[in-house]
Structure 1
Amino acid sequence: MDIEKSIQELEARLQYIQDVFGTRRPEDVALLSAKLAGLRSGEQDAKLSDKVKLLAQLEDLFGFVEQKLDPELTPMDRVRIVRHPQRITLKDILEFCYDNYTEIGGQDEYSIDPSMVIARAYITRRQGDKVHNQPVMVIGQEKGHGQEFRNGGSVKPWGNAKALQYMKVAETENIPIHTYVFTPGAFPVEDYPGAAQQIARNLYEMAALRVPVIACISEGGSGGAEAIALADTRLMLSHGYYSVISPEGAAAIESGIRQGQRAPVELIEEVASRLNITGADNLRMGYVDRVIQEPSLGARPHHYDFFKRLRQEMMLATDEAFLSVKGMNFIRAMAVKRRKKAHLADAEAFFVRWSLDESAAERLVWRRYRKFRDMAQQAYQDKTPVSRRMAESLRQLSWSTYSYLRYEFLRAYGTKLQQLREEAEAEVRLVANKLLRPFRSTGGARKVDTQTIQKLTELSCAEDGICLDGDGNSVYVSPKTREDKAVTCPNAATHGCLDLWAPDLFGDFAGVCQYCGHHFPMEYQWFTHNVLDRDSVSEFNAEVEAANPLDYPGFDQKLDDAKKKLKLKSSCITYEASIEGIKVVVGLLAAPFRGGTVGAAEGEKFIRALSRARKKHYPFLAYVHGTAGIRIQEGTNGVIQMPRVTMAVRRYIEAGGLYMVLYDTNSYAGPVASFLGCSPYQFSVRSANIGFAGPGVIKETTGTDIPPDYHLAYNALARGHIQGIWDRREIRNNLVQAFQTIGGRNLYYR
């Protein structure tokens, strides 16, 4: 027995306890330290048998103290546990939970991104004399044990891109995917393909993967976790955390400290409790399916029994995912359910083939959509009267019936008749042209439909770039026009812009500098009144209100103040309207309401609006007046909206809908990294800022200063995040242009 090695391991365990509890529990730390020092001091004179006996007693004492301290762990203690270098890593899991594996990416600091590890592995099952090697694709963030080049598991965009690539490989090979979440959050860099853009791509593609995905969460930090966590079954380690933001970040926002300062330790501890970030919290709210119990004070590499338990849990979850969509599985499904209830992780007791046919894959995708659709129902308020809900259900039924008859039934039988009619017309027209050619006049110019040409080619408004209604009057007048003052353009020093009179700038000029084209922020009402057809706007789902599902202290009052001041019930407003007669459903994120942040109410309204557009066969326009990201006070109730709404977007697009996004002012974080960023048609108003994290967050997490224009729309255009930049005065005409020309099978209104 290597006595010295065992003593060093105990010293590491003692240091671990001190790191987790800090200055708390000094008597336990002092006891263990004294006993360890006593063993060290008597090591030279004691016999080997005595050393072994004393060492065994000390190991038992360590185990007793760890069991005693475990129930006292606070949420912030769990955060320190998952961040500790002694915490288990993905490499440990690959070594001890799988029978063999070949690493594909992230092997060292010269790989594409060492924070993301991908491995093709297999699990061996023995049924009597027969051996089954079941392949699986393993993907997850790798923190390493103090390996700085792995960036603490904070993945860069190309790391998430490679993860998505091999998810698609697994889909092609018809093998399941195991993902392990070990990240404090994605690395906020906007180099191609961009952090937000790539996370949005991952979510969009994972929503429809035709193989089971099983996710296990240890440290789930906001959007970085969601990039690989959209799964059929989501497990969570008992000492892990899953949160919308780090406790330090939330405390910094709550305290209003300046960049570079640190929030008080007491506030960080308090905020960690408020956010409901533990495994038990997330299981209660329904965002994970099961919690895997860890050893006292968290799993570390020497806890071999834990790796056996984790292996069994992942196998059972995979079996369950396959059996839930396969036929001929009643007895085995009951066996899985019984073992799950009894916590008997014996996945070796029976065999489940890990492959799906086409019909089973379709059922899997549908179950995944329904799973996420049913989440967060308790996290918002819906004050719609029962009578109106019943009327709305009847209307939806009529829309569905009409859509089926017009777009499915008639199309199935009418396509051939239409083709025959078109062919006959072409033949008749050719004969008529030949017979009538001698009688036609050859002089004069051909008549041109000037209105159609104007509609398809003109991008600017008619009069000096000023958007006017049919009577020649400005429809919406900004309150800023009442300020009798001169406004200086921020580009005056570099472009020589002259001062502008506020009534002109925010009235006739629509907030656009006449010298350089800089766009000043305008109210969201400008878009509603100047872009959408007058008298066509009809709001729906207005009774869905933002709430305080975590009972976050002081947040109810802040919500009430925002609702009274702005006469809004959430930051999302959903309309049914038209633009030059083109019927459209609009989802608008209003920046004045809590910074345009998204919570459960906003996510629900987006999903309902997408469903309405799908049933009525209308295009969907997301106008982002501004968004600061996910609402932190709702915790995981907010962050779960990223996969929820993305799945609704995918369902709408796959049904044939045209989904278009227009950014204005500042748009950051979760919404851009999910249901907004996954649109194939994204445009921006000039001077808007688009990105994954703001300058302050980037400075805090990376320690680097970014250029002032880092998030400007032109940079988003350069890396392919958006497809065009528009002048605010041209939005209406450009939208009509886009709706008329994008076309194809994705254009519902045709």
Structure 2
Amino acid sequence: MEDLRKRLLKIEERINYLSQIKDGVEWGNLSEKIVILRDKFYEYTEDQLSEEIRALEESISFLEGRCEETLTSMDRVRIVRNTHRFSLKDILENVYEDYTELGGAEEVSIDPSMVAARASIMRRVKNKTVMQQVMVIGHEKGHGEEYRNGGCSKPWGNEKALRYMKVAETEGIPIHFYIFTPGSFPVEDYPGAGQQIARNLYAMAKLRVPMISVTSEGGSGGAEAVGMADVRLMFSHGYYSVISPEGAAAIEGKIREGEKMPKELVEACAENLHITAAENLKLGTIDRIVHEPPLGAKRDDFGFFRQLKSEIIRATDEVVLKTKSLRAFRAYELTMKKKTEGQVGEEPHIEISWDLNEDEVKRLLSYRSKKYRAMSCAAYSEESSACSVFCRKAKKSIAKLYYSFRYDLLKTQQKHVKKVFQDVSGEGSVLLRQVSSPITAAYDFISKKPGARPGKSPVSSSGTGEDPIEFGDVYTSPLANEDRTVTCPNAEKQGCKDLWVPDLYGEFGGVCENCGHHFPLEYQWYLKHLFDPDSIREFNAGVCAGNPLAYPGFEKKLQSAIAKTGRKSGIITFDARVMGVDLVVAMLYSDFRNGTVGSAEGEKFVRACESAKLKRRPLLSYVHTTGGIRIHEGTLGVVQMPKCTMAVREYIDSG
């Protein structure tokens, strides 16, 4: 009877789980039957109870199958947020043999939402057991603990993750990342959420160990802080998004604080953002899907944990084998094991050392660089003919040859060559003076007029009376045409006087003369005043922002922005000079979709980094205005963070 009671409680739990996933849908008949059986439990015989419970289990299984077939994107979000969902601690307990949590445990950790642990994972090779060490880093949502902060890491939590990434690099062990976060906690005080995410990405770009990431709940930059891996896996019932469906609905519907969020709008945004594992696999933002049981895995799905262990070992093996010179047969065996039916949940019995030597590390970093460089390249358009593409490639090849010759070959010999030229020039001038001095003396004696006095050398003058350092007309902001005054935001604290608009945007250049507050100016003003006159040469202007997710209504907004600005993306990339110094500039500006970043903007920024690296010039990333990632491109916008960071890191490392 006790076994039957447990089965009845399990049925009730499954019914409640279905109701939570389907957002309050009531399964009336089944709920009533469960209540009757529970209240009159001892009035039934054991056979009657067994029959009733078996019928209920069959009905529940049928309903679960139907629900699995009709899962929406928002249903998957609710699955991930459910308290029955497994967490990182459950993975550590069931996938790894043993682990030691680092940096403090539970609520005494500097940030309990971020867990770092040194763990051992066991695999069987032939007839022996092999233990391999890894570093496990990820978000811990917990199961209702308030101090976990719902998996939203603070900057010091992400810094903790970075610290143990470097420990793993020192020890030469792989890193397994697990992402369970709706997003990073928005802290604007130092060190700042965005700044710490950038530091993590910068370090991960060239981390010298294999990295695997597995996403359950991936929210924008918080996920990327520990997500820049060599292989990116995702759970089949998880979600990976640029923003939460509720956040997208608030932006799209212009919902103010305190107003009720329309359920239909939230559901529509979840669908339009393409947040599911299958959709992200199609977009190329993840590499593979880890399949879960119907309606998602729970804490007690031990078969799922065996499968996860197999997948994580296989993914690490794949990364390591790509760096090995002698790998053909093991790579083939690994591929066949993956394709063979009946091998799911069984780790590959192949002997592969996860230690990398110096050459293998170089291959690993090269593979990682190519992986992120190729991301989202199909999500934008570029207006160019076959001839122009050929010319651009030829020009790039010639430029590469020229700059390599100029800087790699000649630069090393520059001092020696310069000294030789100085010596030759000095010897030549002395020789020329000795040869020409008799002729010059004779000419001066013949041409000299009696009574003539030596005059002063004439002073060159343009005759215009203008200062020769002035450059034509000075650009004045159109904002200066308004005849009114404005008040500085710091007037109460600093005692600033009201400013007359023509003076503010004309003579003062948009800066308060008292406190130095900068008023917003159009990007054209900066182009005219920051760079030398006529030095700007724009490139990659043909790269055009697109609508890769076919987001409803966005195509019209995009065309409106193109017509308004005359440009095709929210970033301008160009060569310019500042006080005679050549440099490459990437400038985000406000007029095009408020400077939001999508695939086109990321591609242009990466090309600017490559151009600066090729030409050995300074790179100026000038942010006039940016609204962050363009939500209408979903995770294709999110991956611009690691993609652009990789380009910046390679530019800096090139010297």
TM-score (norm 2): 0.89
Separation in 2 of the partners of 1:522 and 1:469?
28
The alignment status of 1:155 with 2:153, answered yes or no, reads yes
User: 1:723: which partner in 2?
Assistant: none
Equivalent pairs, count? 608
Partner of 1:316: 314
Matches within 5 A, 1:473-484: 475-484=474-483
Distance 1:35 1:470 in 2: 92
- 1:31-430 alignment, distance < 5 Å: 31-47=29-45, 51=49, 54-105=52-103, 107-342=105-340, 344-345=343-344, 346-411=346-411, 414=413
1:47-75 Cα deviation digits (max 9, x unpaired): 55665565455444433321221111110
Hey, what's the Cα distance between the residues in 1 that align with 2:561 and 2:635? Answer: 22
The answer to whether the Cα contact below 8 Å between 1:140 and 1:182 also exists between their aligned partners in 2 is: yes
Higher deviation after alignment, 478-487 or 528-537: 478-487
What are the Cα deviations for residues 5-33 of structure 1, in whole angstroms up to 9, with x where unaligned? 44333322221111110244x4xx22431
Instruction: Quote the Cα distance in structure 2 between the aligned partners of 1:48 and 1:490.
Output: 78
The answer as to whether partners of 2:169 and 2:208 remain within 8 angstroms in 1 is yes
SS in 2 for 1:229: coil
Amino acid at match of 1:476: Y
**1:450-469 aligned within 5 A:** none
Per-residue CA deviation, residues 188-220 of structure 1 (Å, 9 max, x unaligned), is: 012332111110011111111111111111100
Q: Which residue of 1 aligns with 2:589?
A: 590
**Equivalent in the alignment of 2:426:** none
Q: Unpaired segments of 5 or more residues in structure 1?
A: 425-467, 657-750
Kept after mapping to 2: 8 A contact 1:90/1:141: yes
Which residue does the alignment assign to 2:11? Answer: 10
Contact 1:106 1:115 in 2 (8 A): no
Structure 2 residue identity aligned to 1:267:
L
Cα distance in 2 for partners of 1:149, 1:289 equals 33
Q: From the superposition, tell whether residues 477 and 542 of structure 1 become closer, same or farther in structure 2 (CA, over 3 Å).
A: same
Larger radius of gyration: 2
Q: Does structure 2 retain, via aligned residues, the 8 Å contact 1:81–1:297?
A: yes
**Contact 1:469/1:530 (CA < 8 Å) preserved in 2?**
no
Q: For the residues of structure 2 that align with 1:3 and 1:96, how far apart are their CA atoms?
A: 28
Instruction: List aligned pairs for 1:413-562, cutoff 5 A.
Output: 414=413, 470-471=469-470, 475-562=474-561
Identity percentage over the alignment? 51
CA distance in 2, matches of 1:415, 1:471: 35
| Distance in 2 separating the partners of 1:562 and 1:518 | 29
1:117-168: CA deviation from partner (whole Å, max 9, x where unpaired): 1111111122244221011111110001111210110000011111111111
CA–CA separation in structure 1 for the residues paired with 2:202 and 2:416: 37
Aligned counterparts of 1:263 and 1:526: Cα–Cα separation in 2:
41
Distance in 2 (alpha carbons) for counterparts of 1:260 and 1:38: 41
Deviation of residue 503 (structure 1)?
A: 1.3
Give 3-state SS (helix, strand or coil) of 2:207's partner.
coil
CA 1:517–1:253: 2 relative to 1, 3 Å: same
What letter corresponds to residue 10 of structure 1 in structure 2? I
Q: Distance in 1 between matches of 2:152 and 2:173?
A: 27
Give, as a single letter, the amino acid of the residue that structure 2 aligns with 1:489: C
Query: Residue in 2 aligned with 1:614?
Result: 613
Contact kept, 8 Å, 1:214 with 1:231, in 2: the verdict is: yes
Q: Alpha-carbon deviation of 1:472?
A: 6.4
- Tell me, in whole angstroms, the C-alpha distance in 1 between the residues paired with 2:245 and 2:494: 43
Deviation string, structure 1 residues 228-260 (Cα, Å, up to 9, x no partner): 111111111111110000000000000112233
Distance in 2 of aligned mates of 1:106 and 1:418:
60
Q: Structure 2 counterpart of 1:353, which letter?
A: S
Q: What amino acid is aligned across from residue 347 of structure 2 in structure 1?
A: A
Distance 1:385 1:203 in 2: 36
Instruction: Say which SS state the counterpart of residue 147 (structure 2) adopts.
Output: helix
Does the residue aligned with 1:360 lie in a helix, a strand or coil? helix
Match of 1:699 in 2: none
- Once the two structures are TM-superposed, the CA of residue 327 in structure 1 deviates from its matched residue by 1.9
Shift of 1:643: 0.6
Distance 1:514 1:473, change over 3 A: farther
What's the RMSD between the two structures over aligned residues? 2.2
CA distance in 2, matches of 1:301, 1:482: 66
Letter matched to residue 584 of structure 1: L
How many angstroms does 1:40 deviate by? 1.2
Is the CA contact (8 Å cut-off) linking 2:138 and 2:180 kept in structure 1? yes
Q: Secondary structure at the match of 2:8?
A: helix
Return the letter of the residue paired with 1:347.
Answer: E
Q: CA deviation at 1:594?
A: 0.9
- The 1:557/1:469 distance shift into structure 2, 3 A limit, reads farther
Distance in 2, Cα, partners of 1:374 & 1:469: 50
Going from structure 1 to structure 2, the CA distance change for 1:315 and 1:50 (only over 3 Å counts) comes to farther
C-alpha contact 1:555 1:633 (8 A) present in aligned 2:
yes
Cross-structure match for 1:449: none
Q: CA, structure 1 residues 191+493, in 2 after alignment: closer, same or farther (shift >3 Å)?
A: closer
Distance 1:532 1:2 in 2: 80
Specify the code of the residue in structure 2 equivalent to 1:407: Y
Structure 1: distance between partners of 2:507 and 2:471: 11
SS in 2 for 1:228: coil
User: Compared with structure 1, are the counterparts of its residues 336 and 128 closer, same or farther at alpha carbon in structure 2 (3 Å cutoff)?
Assistant: closer
2:595 paired with 1:580:
no
- Structure 2 distance, partners of 1:76, 1:618, is 48
How many Å separate the matches in 1 of 2:5 and 2:419? 89
Shift of 1:389: 2.2
Cα distance, 1:493 vs structure 2: 3.0
More deviation in 119-128 or 161-170?
119-128
Q: Which amino acid aligns with 1:350?
A: I
Following superposition, the deviation at residue 391 of structure 1 comes to: 1.9
Rounded Cα–Cα distance in structure 2 between residues aligned with 1:524 and 1:557: 24
Q: Are residues 54 and 377 of structure 1, via their aligned partners in 2, closer, same or farther at CA, if it must alter by over 3 Å?
A: same
CA distance in 1, matches of 2:313, 2:331: 13
Letter in 2 for 1:370: K
- Counterpart residue identity of residue 12, structure 1: E
| Cα deviation, residue 415, structure 1 | 8.2
Distance 1:99 1:469, change over 3 A: farther
Q: Report whether the alignment pairs 1:602 with 2:601.
A: yes
Gaps of 5+ in 2: 424-466
Q: What amino acid does structure 1 have at the position aligned with 2:108?
A: Y
Q: Distance in 2 between matches of 1:262 and 1:652?
A: 47
Q: Which amino acid aligns with 1:616?
A: K
**2:19, 2:274 → 1: CA distance?**
24
> How far, CA to CA, are the matches of 1:277 and 1:491 in structure 2?
43
Residues 257 and 49 (structure 1 numbering): CA distance in 2 closer, same or farther, change over 3 Å?
Answer: same
Q: 1:596 to 1:126 in 2, by over 3 A?
A: same
Matched AA of 1:600: S
Query: SS of the residue aligned with 1:475?
Result: coil
Q: Residue 408 of structure 1: CA displacement?
A: 2.4
**How high is the TM-score relative to the length of structure 1?**
0.78
Residue 625 of structure 2: aligned partner: 626
Contact persistence 2:314–2:348 (CA under 8 A): no
Matched, 1:644 2:634: no
* 309 and 469 in structure 1: CA distance in 2 versus 1, 3 angstrom threshold: farther
